[in-house]
């Protein structure tokens, strides 16, 4: 199980679990709301990358990163050739999923 253990520090974003669509003329049926149960702390990089994706869609995008690196990134492939990186198939678990009150 992989959990992003990066400390948020004093700079972080508040993300919507179910995304809110601001400035859209026609909001999708899956649009979320600005309510406390829909808000979680997120590192800036994750929140900006997630955008209006659902949690599951974002999880799938993260899982594809090794595949994308292998197809498109010369430096990654070179580092892999010299065993400087190790690929895993860890489960992607978000911070709020680990620490959510039960």
pLDDT tens-digit map of 27-68: 666 678 889 999 988 888 889 999 989 999 999 999 999 999
Q: What per-residue confidence (pLDDT) applies to 32?
A: 80
Closest to 89 (Cα-Cα) out of 70, 63, 69:
63
Per-residue pLDDT, 97:
84
The alpha-helical segments, DSSP class H, found in the chain are: 44-50, 55-63, 65-72, 74-81, 95-99
d(CA 62, CA 56): 10
Q: What is the DSSP string of 61-83?
A: HHHTHHHHHHHH-HHHHHHHHTT
- Tell me what pLDDT residue 5 has: 62
Q: Is the pLDDT of residue 84 over 70?
A: yes
pLDDT at 33: 84
Which residues 6+ apart lie within 8 Å of 17 measured at CB?
32, 38, 39, 40, 55, 96
User: Structure tokens of 66?
Assistant: 């090794």
Q: Does the pLDDT at position 99 exceed 80?
A: no
Specify the number of domains making up the chain. 1
Token couple for 88: 């895993």
Domain span at residue 95?
2-99
């Amino acid at each position: 199980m992989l959990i992003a253990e990066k400390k948020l520090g004093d700079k972080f974003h508040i993300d919507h679990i179910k995304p809110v669509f601001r400035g859209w003329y026609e909001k999708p049926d899956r649009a979320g709301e600005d309510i406390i149960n829909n808000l979680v702390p997120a590192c800036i990089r994750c929140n900006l990358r997630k955008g209006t994706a659902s949690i599951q869609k974002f999880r799938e995008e993260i899982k594809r990163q090794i595949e994308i690196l292998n197809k498109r990134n010369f430096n990654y492939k070179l580092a892999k050739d010299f065993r400087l990186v190790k690929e895993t198939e860890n489960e992607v678990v978000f911070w709020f999923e680990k620490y959510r009150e039960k």
